[in-house]
Each structure stands twice: as C-alpha cells, then as structure tokens.
Structure 1
Amino acid sequence: MAPIYSAESINSFFVNQVKDYAIFATDTNGIITAWNKGAERLKGYTEEEIVGQFYGILHPDEYQQVGYPEKELQKALDNGSFENEDWRKKKDGSLFWATVTLTPIYDESGQHIGFTKITGDLTKQKELQDKLAERQQNALERKNSELQRTNNDLDNFIYTASHDLRSPITNIEALMLYLEEKLKEENALTPETQEVLQRVLDSVDRFKRTIEDLAEISRVQKDSTQDATDIVTNIKDVYEDIMADLNYPSKQKACFIQTDFQVSQLNFSKKNFRSILYNLLSNAIKYQAPDRDCIIRVTTRLEEPYVVLRAKDNGLGMNPKQQEQLYGMFRRFHDHVEGTGVGLYMVKRIVDNADGKIEVESKEGEGTEFRVYFQEAM
C-alpha cells in the first residue's frame, strides 16, 4: 500500500524538486526562511549558507545601496505581488538576467507572515534578444546609409541635370527671339506665327522655372546637412524683403495682409525661412477668391516647445482629397495661375529636415490656414 502524504509534504516535495527556478520564502522583513534546490543551483548558495540572511544579498550591490530590495517588498505588499525582469546576483558575484515574482503570504486569519520569491534565469533569452536588437540596429543603420547615398545621388543628378539643361534651353529661347525679330523685319510675322512663337516662348519660360525649382530642391537638401541653427533670422525683415519682391498678377486684386509677429527672431536658416514664408504668401495671393476681397493674416506665436508661423487666407481653399496630395512634387490643383507645383514640396522638405512640422486646415470656397512649427526661438 502506497504511503499517504500530507498536502504540506507534497508541496515541500514539489518545491524542492523544481530545478529550473529558484523558489524561497522569507519572513515579513525579507529574512530568508526556506530555500529550494533550484535556488541553490541558480544562485550558488546552499540552504545552510543563505537561511537567516536578508534576501537583498541576491541583488546587485548598487541596488542594495539605494534600498531597491526594500522597495520590492513594499510594492508586493501594496499591489498583491511584484513582477519584473532585471539583474540579479549569484554567490560568486556574477550577474544574470532574471524574471522575478515576489508575493506576500498570509495565514488563515489574514495576518501577513512573509513572502515567497520565484526567480527564473532569462540570460540566454536576453542574449538572443540583444543579438537580435543589434542585428536590427545594424540593418537599420545600413538602410539609413543606403537611403542617404540614394538621396545624395538623386540630389547630384538633379543638380547636374538642371545645370546641363540651362544652356540648351537658353539657346532655344535666344533662337526663337531671333526668329521672331527676323520675321518682323521681313514683314512675314502673321498672327498665327506670332501665336506659335509665343506658345514656344511660354513653354521655354515654364521649363526654365522648372529647372530653377529643381536646383532649389537640391539646395534645400544640401543645406539640411549643415547646421544652420546658429543663424538668427529677423522675421519682420524677411517678410518685408518678400513683400518688396512679390508682384501681384495683373488679373488679380491686391491683397490686404495683416501681420502680428509676437516672436520676432528665430534660430533658423534665413534662406530656408524666406523660402517657406515666400511660398505661403505667394500661394495665398495666387489662389485668392475672385468674388471677395483678398485678406491674408500672418502671425508668429510661441507655443512651447515650438514657434508657430501661421499664414491664413480667405481664398479658394482645398477639398480633403487635394489636402492629402498637397506636398507631392509637381502637384497643382488650379490651372488658371502660373506655377510648377514644387513650392509646398520644398516647404515640407525644409520643415522636416529641421525636425519641425507643418499642418494645414482648409475648406473649399472659404480659405486655408498653414501652420509651420519651428524648434528654435530667440
């Protein structure tokens, strides 16, 4: 007949035969009172060596110095248990990565009588995780390096192409002007011929503007690799400089522009800030509504940690689909005004390169507001 064991005996046999986890008990002050074979194998202490010692001896020295073991006990009492993955110390002083569970014990009357602690060794899993993380980091760095090379190659191509195209397109323009002059001298310039010549010259002009925009995109990318945050830009000076350059199209009314520059200076590249503000203002002027006065409001505010530039108009506005495509290269939504469709693409690129952000709110038939967030202020 098989012997009959009490529940307490069975629990004791079970705990002592668990080899892969350290299981031990402490009194209410964290003094070790019981120690299983798994704890001896994992920690290195025999039961005789460890019983009667404060369980904090199993923590790294720096943890003991700041009272981390005592904080664990309190958290277990406050929350019903304490679970964590962290470093633990063996008898020989070596550290291992462990999963730990600390649970308070209560008697039948609800009186707190101690704690149980279960510790598992996760060193191999951590080593695998660290290796995987290292590989992922290396792969990310390689990918970033490849993307940087691709961007550099693309920018070099854009710069070279735009540079090499200037000469032939300039020659074409000169030849067309020469042809127009010769036809006039010989009284051979008919209205039909004049229209064809003008269309060619208009196409040449659009091509030249596209080349200039491509060169500007390349410049923006090259500038992004240089630290320009030490440049103090006076916002009002840039605004006045832009307004001196802006010419209103003859078919459009002049716009009334209100300004309120509560932030007057910015640690930002003057060229890049001018490009941003110029594009926002020129678009607001170009896309004004024909049936009402054109009103544009430009402001700067400190909204920590940003300086926010707002440009709000009461122009044509955009529908949601147009807003989704807003920052794509060569995107244009209205054909009745001149443009190449790269201005907002450049604005977005400048802002992204400077770790800022740009937002837009627009409603078709009512107007548009752009908000550009800059990191640095004075």
Structure 2
Amino acid sequence: MKTQHFNESITSTFIEQVKEYAIFAMDPNGIIATWNEGAERMKGYKEEDVIGKFYGMLFTEEDRANHKPEEELEQAKTHEQYQTEGWRLKKDGSLFWASITLTPIYNDEKELIGLTKVTRDLTDKRRAEENLTRKHDELVVTNRDLDNFIYTASHDLKAPILNIDGLVHRLVHLFEDKKIEDPELLELVDFFRKSVDRFKLTIEDLTTISRLQRTIEDESNLEQVSVQQVFDDILDDLKFLFEVNTFPCQVQSNFQVNVLNFSRKNFRSILYNLLSNAIKYRSQTNNCQINVSTYKEGEWVVLSVKDNGLGMSPDDQEKLYTMFKRFHDHVDGSGIGLYIVKRIVENAGGKITLTSEKGKGSEFKVYFQS
C-alpha cells in the first residue's frame, strides 16, 4: 500500500508541475476534478475557477450550442482514446488552437470512474500552416496570371512577326529580281532574317511553356509505356543530329525495366530532351558514346542517360534548370528543354539528378515512382 501511495503521489506531483500541457481529470459526466499548473497557464483559469464545473466551459459558444463537449465525452467512453484538434476558449475570451486527447479511466472492476484530458497549444503551428496555405494560394494565382500573360503575349505576337517575316522575304525576292548585289544591303537583310528567326523561336518557346503549364498530365493519365519503343522512335527522329559531326556517335541501351507506368507523351519529352542534348553537346575531338539504361533502385525506376561529351562545371550545374539558360553557343537551342524535363518529372512525384565533369561528360538520372 505504501508503494502504491508513493507512486500515486509521484504521478500527481508530476502532472501538477507539467507546464507545457494542460492536464486535468473529470468524472464520467465531465465535471472537472483536478487542474494542473499547465492548464492554468494555458487557459487562464485558476483551480478554484473550474473545479466542480462542467468542462464545456472551455469550449467556444458555437461548440457548446452544437453539443460538442457531450459528443467528445461519448466518443472517449466508446473508444479507448479520443483525439481531436480545434479552437478552445481562454478565460480572457481569446481562442487558441488545441490538440486534445481524452482518455477514459477504469477501476479494477473495469468500471468507468472518470477521464483525463491532455491539451497542447498548437496555435503557432496552426498560424504557420495557414500562412503557408495562403502563400501557396497566392503563388497559384500568380502562376495562373503569368501563364495567361505568356499565352496571350505569344498568341498576339505571332501575327505581327509573321507579317514582318513575310515582308523580309518579299524584300529578298525584290533584291533578287532587281539583281541588287550591294553587300551592305544584303548583310542588313540577313540581320533582319536572323532577328526574325530568333523572335519566332522565342515565341515558340513561350507557347511551349504555356502549353506545359496547361497540359502536364497527372497520375490519372498514366499508361503502360514501352521504353524500347519510345527510344527507337526518338532515334529515328534524331538521325539528322548524328550526321552533323565528323566523329561518329554510338548510342547503346540496356533496359532492365522496359515498361513504365507514366504518360507516354511526357516520357518521350524527357528522353528526347536528354538524348538530343547528349548528341548536340558531344565532344568535338572524340567519338561520341551515349549509354541509355533503365533499372530498379529501391522504390524507384531509374532512367540513366550517360555521355562522354562536353560536361559542365559545378557553377553551370547550379543554373542548369533555369529557363532560357544556355552554356554553349555552337549549337542551336533555346534553353528550355531541361526546364521542361524537371517540371514534368517533379510534377509526377519524381526527381532528376546530374553527375558531370567538364570535358569528360555527364550522366542524368531520372527517378520515376514505381
């Protein structure tokens, strides 16, 4: 008996001195029987303010009207424990967001003799979550507005730039018909044509980005994709790149995973961009060697595209996925390919990594959820 009394005394003293949590006991009807220091600090009520009163006094007026206190009591009595979160009332009338645990207490005869209630103040966490949600909503609106602007701008600019393009072509034909061979005029016209071509390419890129924003497929559009088939189709499309350089380019494949549960269109975009970059940015002094493979790694299916090309410095790698960012000017490109790849991959819950050394080559790894 002495040991039991000592243990009960220690437990009682511990509960009374806990300050971070509001802990109190009630009888089966919800009448408050004990009140620790943490409850006084959190709720503002002193022990004499609450002992002998129904614990519903700690709820908001709306919750009391909806019989929330009685509902919680019944839930706790029916189950071994009842947990919830919600607004609770302080003595000064202010509210705080609380995490609450109600636990029934039984005697040796398995009879319900009361309940304990442990409350933790999560107001700061709640406010942080609300701020995060608000910022997320603001970003969604901003991105939507930016997307609409890009779409409108690219659409509205198409007609005038095509008109300019047509006028430049007419000017070229006019020079040819009149046999005008003034080097300065011809050079000026060539500058016009190149500027128009760059403008058209920019509009094309903006349209691609806008379309990406609108049509990136989610998990509801998954399908069984044959990696080998997509790979073969892409190699057919990229034949022209193999002929650009004096040094031959060999592409080897090893698909340990040949079927991928993904959007076929998006997978093709990923593999096309990685392969075309590996070919375009190959070494100018060595034979081009590209290895494409798929394999399982834990919970992921990994697509690896490894080359022995130009490679990238650590500084360039940090800016790699920036829109319109390019590191080499000797080949055509817009600088949005890897941006698009990263968006597609991350939107599908995957990730992309790069290992690269300047002058020795690069390896991109795309991780798909298996």
What TM-score results when the alignment is normalised by the length of structure 2?
0.69
1:288 maps to what in 2?
282
**1:44-63 to 2 correspondences below 5 Å:** 63=80
CA deviation after TM superposition for structure 1 residue 250, in Å: 5.9
Select which of 11, 15, 21 maps to 2:16: 21
- Could you say what secondary structure the match of 1:291 adopts? coil
- In structure 2, the residue matched to 1:240 is 232
Alignment correspondent of 2:342: 348
Q: Which amino acid aligns with 2:200?
A: K
**Structure 2 counterpart of 1:101:** none
Report the AA paired with residue 147 of structure 1: L
Tell me the equivalent position of 2:146.
154
Letter in 1 for 2:278: A
1:360 aligns with 2:354: yes
**Aligned counterpart for 1:95 among listed residues 77, 100, 116:** 116
Matching residue within 177, 181, 191 for 1:189: 181
Deviations 1:19-74 (A, max 9, x none): 97189xxxxxxxxxxxxxxx9734999xxxxxxxxxxxxx988559xxxxxxxxxx
Q: Distance in 1 between matches of 2:230 and 2:34?
A: 73
Shift of 1:285: 0.9
Q: CA RMSD in A?
A: 3.3
Match of 1:138 in 2: 130
User: Which TM-score applies when normalising by structure 1?
Assistant: 0.68
CA shift in 2, pair 1:227/1:155, >3 Å: farther
The amino acid across from 1:198 in the alignment is: D
Deviation at 1:264, TM superposition (A): 1.4
Partner of 1:215: 207
Q: Take 1:89 and 1:22, find their aligned partners in 2: how far apart are those partners?
A: 22
Equivalent residue for 2:157, pick from 157, 165, 173: 165
- Equivalent residue runs for 1:233-312 within 5 Å: 233-246=225-238, 247-248=240-241, 251-253=244-246, 254-312=248-306
Matched with 1:231 is: 223
Tell me if the contact between 2:218 and 2:347 (Cα under 8 Å) persists in the aligned partners: no
What CA distance in whole angstroms lies between the structure 2 residues aligned with 1:326 and 1:251?
24
How many residues are aligned here? 288
Give the whole-Å Cα distance in 1 for the aligned partners of 2:355 and 2:326: 17
Give deviations 1:89-135, integer Å, cap 9, x for gaps.
468634311xxxxxxxxxxxxxxxxxxxxxxxxx3xx1x31x33333
Once the 2 structures are TM-superposed, how far is the Cα of residue 174 of structure 1 from its aligned partner?
1.2
CA distance in 1, matches of 2:347, 2:156: 27
Please state how far the C-alpha of 1:171 moved relative to its aligned partner.
Answer: 1.3
Cα drift, residue 154 of structure 1: 1.3
Partner Cα distance (2:268, 2:352) in 1: 16
Q: CA deviation at 1:214?
A: 1.7
1:179 equivalent in alignment to 2:171: yes
**Distance in 2 of aligned mates of 1:303 and 1:264:** 14
Partner Cα separation in structure 2 for residue 353 and residue 336 of structure 1: 32
| Shift of residue 16, structure 1, vs aligned partner | 12
Alpha carbons of 1:178 and 1:228: their partners in 2 closer, same or farther (altered >3 Å)?
farther
Deviation at 1:369, TM superposition (A): 0.5
**Deviation, structure 1 residue 15:** 7.9
**CA deviation after TM superposition for structure 1 residue 194, in Å:** 2.7
From the superposition, tell whether residues 228 and 293 of structure 1 become closer, same or farther in structure 2 (CA, over 3 Å). Answer: farther
Residue 235 (structure 1) shift: 1.6
Check whether the contact 1:360–1:368 (CA below 8 A) recurs between aligned residues: yes
* Structure 1 segments unaligned to the other structure (5+ residues): 1-10, 24-38, 46-58, 65-84, 98-122
Identity within the alignment, %? 46
User: Aligned partners of 2:232, 2:187: CA distance in 1, in Å?
Assistant: 38
Counterpart pick for 1:203 among 185, 195, 198: 195
The 8 Å contact of residues 242 and 249 in structure 2, kept in 1 or not, is answered as no
Closer, same or farther: CA 293–87 of 1 in aligned 2, 3 Å: same
Change (3 A) 1:238 1:192: farther
Name the CA distance, whole Å, in 1 between partners of 2:14 and 2:295.
65
For 1:210 and 1:249, the matched residues in 2 are separated by 26
Query: For the pair shown, which has the larger CA radius of gyration, 1 or 2?
Result: 1
Cα displacement (A) at 1:339: 1.1
After superposition, the Cα gap between the structure-2 partners of 1:350 and 1:17, relative to the gap in structure 1 and judged at 3 Å, is closer
CA distance in 2, matches of 1:326, 1:244: 27
SS in 2 for 1:174: helix
Tell me, in whole angstroms, the C-alpha distance in 2 between the residues paired with 1:349 and 1:17: 56
